[in-house]
Structure 1
Amino acid sequence: MRETTVVERVFAEFEADALTSFRPPGVADAQRRLRQRRRRRGLLAGLTALLVGGPAGAFALAGGQTDPRPTPTPVVSVSPQRKFMERQIIVNGVPSTLTDIRFVDGRVGWALLGTCEPTADQVSGDCVRTLARTTDGGQSWRYASWSDATGPAQLLAVDADTAAVRSERVYRWTQDGGVTLVSLRLTDLPDVVRRSMATRSGLYIGCPGAKEPGAVPVTCTRSQVRRVGGGALPRQPALTLQPDNGGLFEGGDGRLWVVSTEGDGVAVATSDDQGESWLRLPTVAGPATLSVSPDGRGVWLLGEDRSRMVWRLVGDRWQQRGGLPDDTSQAAALDADTLVVTSAYGGLGFWTGGRYTDVPELREPLRRDRDDQDAGVDVLPDGTIAVRQSSALILGTGRGTDRTWVRIS
């Protein structure tokens, strides 16, 4: 499942962020910025998020009071029968540091490595970047490198064969798994890459007059659901879509979900005919996050206030299902019954029917004193759980809560 928001601002933010950081604006990273902004100002005005490669996940929409400091939540531990493994990306003698890693499913992933300093004015023959691909879950990697690099870079993982790296001046992209790289100007982004910034059927939220997702930013006071290469949909959802306050999701079952803030609540509209008609669902009060499972059957609203209340969509109504643990950092829908949850103190577990079950083997790898950043969690289209920890990635493959975990760094 892919999700998209106001892509134009994402790329505008990238230009600004590029001066000091090369981390791409994935959902987990965007939500982390959201929480930091909320703690600073006490009020969340909105967030633009972009998820390339299509994992399921959550999009925070409405603001509220600053959350109190969470307290550790009692957990139900399962027997440590699952496995945890470590894998390192080795590219045959190429000196480099992992700067980003993105998987499109449990086996296929892309990694960006380099020796470049993250400064905007560096032009050096010693600055080498490497784009690597794996098709066996990180056990082996094929790569291509180039030396005429400058400044920070952004990795866009499209599918098993296609990826792009955006630097300050050009795109380099491949359609053959990294065997060959083609350089293009920033204004010549290939359609296949533009479509990766939209839902699987090519829809995105953008301003009237926007050429495509990822094009030059267009300022507007009201956004639309648009189709790559086709303009705005004739019928729009009955929601107020403004820059930074809306998100678009497409589940594996083909249903569309548009979500936006309205006053102090969250409004959601859905379509099962590719936008020919829309059904508006009841508004839920308070700040919340929408999360849709990869198969499209699990649709949830996750409260962002003190209550951490959870609503699950049943028919065309939201039903309260209790609350998430008080120390929840991020959560994502695994299926129609289960959420995968990361803790602000480190660790990960599964939430089903109001009961949280800890994953013991992830307590140490996700311990906060090892990494001062919250761990971001997404669910990839094939159901693989992806936990982002700084520049490393932990993959959880398997079914339901029975998972094998691999940390790739």
Structure 2
Amino acid sequence: MTDDELDERLRALFRAGHPPLVPRPDMLEVIHRGARRRQARRAGTLAAAGVVAVALATTAVVRPFAPARQTAGTHAQTAAAVQPSRLVASPTLQATETSAPAVAATSAEAGTVPAGGTPPAGFVPLSVTGTTSNGQTFWVLGDAPCATGTCTAVAKTTDGGQSFTEMAAPASAVVPDHLLGMDGVSPQTIANMRFVDAKNGWAFGGALWQTTDGAQSWQQITSITGTVQQLEVASGHAWAIVATGGGSPPGATGTARLFTATYPAGTWGPVDAAGVFGPAEPALVVHDTTVIVAGEDPTTGTPRAVRSTDAATFAELPAPPCVPAPTGGLSITASALWLLCADHARAYVSTDAGTSWRQVGSTLPADAAVVAAIDPTTAVIAHGGRLIRIGTDGTMQTAATPSGASGFAFVGFVNDTVGFAIAEVANSRQLWRSTDAGAHWSLVRIGG
């Protein structure tokens, strides 16, 4: 299938509306081991009746998902769905390289909603990213109705979601985390977005795009071969988990490596000292100059983690107590690192950046699928259609949320009080925001 044919088939699906999100009852038995970010895009079972499979190009990657994909939030990174990360801009934003392997593209090339004005009604949020410590400024990647059907869209707010302005969007189709129960990522598609400050941002998935002018324009990065599963930014460096090849069991991501580049004009390259992870997608978190990758050893399948404290040199950490849960298993703040195990039944917290761990309580609610760190004593876990605050003493409190959620595509906090969640609601998505450390959540309306 040609790129144009793939693009047209994806757009036809989007014009038809968002498909039902129907996970199979035994999905937890087949989820691959290892985390986000992220954003491993999940692959569940198709609905039994009336479902049309999507044919992907041979370069496409299909990855397994946990029902109602959920991604942990972490401090001091930017977030793609606020993606695993705290969204605090780094005080040091100096680039040291000048050769940027980018190719310019215009929004007219890829069915994008034009910049300017209020986002159109029907805007569906797929990823959110913020940079300010008060959570007032953030960007939302999604899709929205346009003259040709459904187009890629980016909306920005500077007043906490009271109003939005449509920005320029990357010239790639947006693939939601659930596409007919499958997540198809090809070189023509994106699924997540990160901003580190008012100017520098990235959109990624099968394609990787960069903006240096606050989403006034985007340039495609072509120097990375593979699927960008996760991307986080801090202290003048962008970090990405890049997967190549297939894997076993079916749907696993093969092997994954850490890549990095300074910004705005640095050249991307692999971080050989971090080693190789796989077949499941590893978890990536960053905070200032601390960078941690946790997943499984591709040879033994045992948990492994590496850490840098200077954004340059990496060393092996003691083996973590488990492999992180897919895409929501690792979350970092300035003072704590939280870990949700792939068995979805245990959580741990570390106050020494992964050198040692302490289990939180005994067991978690069944199907807990993401942990979003708030501070050393508190985090939020997503369980089905509920968000639950959990303390290191094992206490749990169900948060007050809008009704109707069946699961979450993302949960994360930008600081100790402000957090975001993307909820699966009635076969579509909603953006929720909390300003009281996850105790209460309200709906953020984007489209005009």
Secondary structure at the residue paired with 1:203?
strand
Asked if residue 98 in structure 1 is aligned to residue 124 in structure 2, the reply is yes
Aligned to 1:232: 270
Aligned to 2:139: 110
1:203 to partner: Cα distance: 3.0
Aligned to 2:163: 140
In structure 2, C-alpha distance between the alignment counterparts of 1:240 and 1:166, rounded to whole Å: 21
1:272 to partner: Cα distance: 1.6
- Residue number among 337, 349, 359 corresponding to 1:299 in the alignment: 337
In structure 1, C-alpha distance between the alignment counterparts of 2:324 and 2:153, rounded to whole Å: 41
Aligned to 2:233: 199
In structure 2, C-alpha distance between the alignment counterparts of 1:269 and 1:167, rounded to whole Å: 23
Aligned to 2:405: 371
- Residue number among 367, 388, 393 corresponding to 2:422 in the alignment: 388
1:397 to partner: Cα distance: 2.0
Relative to the length of structure 2, the TM-score reads 0.55
In structure 2, C-alpha distance between the alignment counterparts of 1:407 and 1:268, rounded to whole Å: 36
Q: Which runs of 5+ in 1 are unaligned?
A: 1-13, 23-31, 59-89, 117-123, 211-219
In structure 2, C-alpha distance between the alignment counterparts of 1:98 and 1:18, rounded to whole Å: 16
1:44 to partner: Cα distance: 2.1
Q: Is the 8 A contact 2:33 2:323 kept in 1?
A: no
Aligned to 1:322: 361
1:375 to partner: Cα distance: 6.0
| Distance change >3 Å, CA 48–CA 244, structure 1 → 2 | farther
Paired residue total: 316
1:223 to partner: Cα distance: 4.3
In structure 2, C-alpha distance between the alignment counterparts of 1:151 and 1:378, rounded to whole Å: 21
Mapping 1:13-52, distance limit 5 Å: 18=10, 39=27, 42=30, 44-46=32-34, 49-50=37-38
| Distance change >3 Å, CA 287–CA 175, structure 1 → 2 | closer
1:134 to partner: Cα distance: 0.8
Q: Deviations over 1:227-252 (max 9, x none)?
A: 22263346x24x65235442332124
Aligned to 1:216: none
1:280 to partner: Cα distance: 1.9
In structure 2, C-alpha distance between the alignment counterparts of 1:257 and 1:311, rounded to whole Å: 15
Question: Higher mean Cα deviation, 93-102 or 260-269?
Answer: 93-102
Aligned to 1:340: 380
Which one has a bigger Cα radius of gyration? 1
| Distance change >3 Å, CA 222–CA 387, structure 1 → 2 | closer
Residue identity over aligned pairs, in percent, reads 16
Secondary structure at the residue paired with 2:27?
helix
Aligned to 1:260: 295
Aligned to 1:242: 278
- What RMSD in Å do the two structures reach over aligned CA positions? 4.6
Asked if residue 251 in structure 1 is aligned to residue 287 in structure 2, the reply is yes
| Distance change >3 Å, CA 136–CA 17, structure 1 → 2 | farther
Relative to the length of structure 1, the TM-score reads 0.60
In structure 2, C-alpha distance between the alignment counterparts of 1:248 and 1:171, rounded to whole Å: 17
1:329 to partner: Cα distance: 4.0
In structure 2, C-alpha distance between the alignment counterparts of 1:346 and 1:379, rounded to whole Å: 16
Counterpart amino acid of 2:395? Answer: R
Secondary structure at the residue paired with 2:160?
coil
1:162 to partner: Cα distance: 5.1
Q: Which runs of 5+ in 2 are unaligned?
A: 1-5, 15-20, 40-76, 86-115, 176-188, 246-252, 262-266
Q: Deviations over 1:165-188 (max 9, x none)?
A: 7899x999765555x446x56759
Q: Is the 8 A contact 2:126 2:422 kept in 1?
A: no
Aligned to 2:443: 407
Secondary structure at the residue paired with 1:322?
coil
| Distance change >3 Å, CA 406–CA 127, structure 1 → 2 | closer
Q: Is the 8 A contact 2:322 2:342 kept in 1?
A: no
| Distance change >3 Å, CA 38–CA 47, structure 1 → 2 | farther
| Distance change >3 Å, CA 204–CA 243, structure 1 → 2 | farther
Question: Which has more helix, going by share of residues?
Answer: 1
Counterpart amino acid of 1:339? Answer: A
| Distance change >3 Å, CA 126–CA 338, structure 1 → 2 | closer
Asked if residue 309 in structure 1 is aligned to residue 346 in structure 2, the reply is yes
1:266 to partner: Cα distance: 2.1
| Distance change >3 Å, CA 282–CA 39, structure 1 → 2 | same
| Distance change >3 Å, CA 304–CA 135, structure 1 → 2 | same
In structure 2, C-alpha distance between the alignment counterparts of 1:405 and 1:358, rounded to whole Å: 11
